[in-house]
Amino acid sequence: MMNFANLLSQIESVTAKKSYGNEDTGFWRPTKDKAGNAQAVIRFLPNKNIEDVPFVRRYSHSFKDPITQRWYIEKSLTTLGQQDYIAEVNGELWNTGLDENKELARSRKRTLKFISNILVIKDPGNPANEGQVMKFEYGKKIFDKIVSAAKPEADLGEEPVNAFDPKTGADFLYKQTVVAGFPNYDQSKFSSSKPLASGNDAKIKEILDRCHDINEEVAPDKFKSYEELKKKFLWVTGAEQKAAARKEYDSELDELAKIANEKPVVAKPAKSPPVATVAASDDDDDAFFRSLVEE
């Protein structure tokens, strides 16, 4: 019979909250409570090659078309310094100068995310993540906190902290709350500087060996082609169907115009039946009837 400890372990494995996508992608995502709040303690780490920049930037678009109710969620080719169809469309809308077009462009604008390696130190929402080295995608608000730690206000006497350094960095207290319906990270902050794994060099090396090459997240093969993104955008916005409908409508107009320009055919009047000619005197009835028979 299964002992009680094993039974509890099995129950926990079945009922534990899942962190969707982490197992497949290697990304850490905080587990939120019913109110949308989340908290954890993480440590930013270097890139796989410690000489590389410890983060990469990636632009993407995410919006739902209000008419078709379809979603467009795609990485932007502008990340690679290439042309992107939706960026061109937004530029055209903005340049019209019309407020409604500018608002539409804003609703489809690109967003900037950063990707780094992290060590998950504490994750109350999903303890299974603790001790794992994972990739973490975060926005400008958290990136600004990394920058502020590296470049503190000089007149406050704070020491600069390289958040990605395993020896002189610091743990990051991640706190996500909901403000006006949107996630907010204002309460997130770095703790005081301290070495990773209590300064144990062997343990630090073991952790760093598990880091991912985050440069792969912005490799060209991670992005769809210009034509693929254009096709997706036209499908999401219904522009493809609108163009097809317009083409059909124009074709119908052309056909009607062709008919209208054709010269009407005037029917020729039917020939009148021949009229019998009577070459006889008024009193010659026999001659009259003979003439009818001859006709």
Closest by CA to 233, choosing from 94, 131, 110, 56, is 110
Q: Is the pTM of this model over 0.75?
A: no
Question: Is residue 240's pLDDT more than 90?
Answer: no
pLDDT of residue 256: 65
**Please, are residues 31 and 160 in contact by the beta-carbon 8 Å criterion?**
no
Mean pLDDT of the 154-169 span: 87
Indicate the range of 49-53, 209-213, 277-281, 282-286 predicted with least confidence.
277-281
Q: Look at residue 173 in the predicted model and tell me its pLDDT.
A: 98
Walk me through the domains of the chain, giving residue ranges and CATH numbers: 27-240 (3.90.198.10)
Cα 98 from chain centroid (whole Å)? 24
% residues pLDDT > 90 (the chain): 69
Question: CA nearest 191: which of 174, 163, 172?
Answer: 172
Give Cβ neighbours of residue 4 (< 8 Å, ≥ 6 apart): none
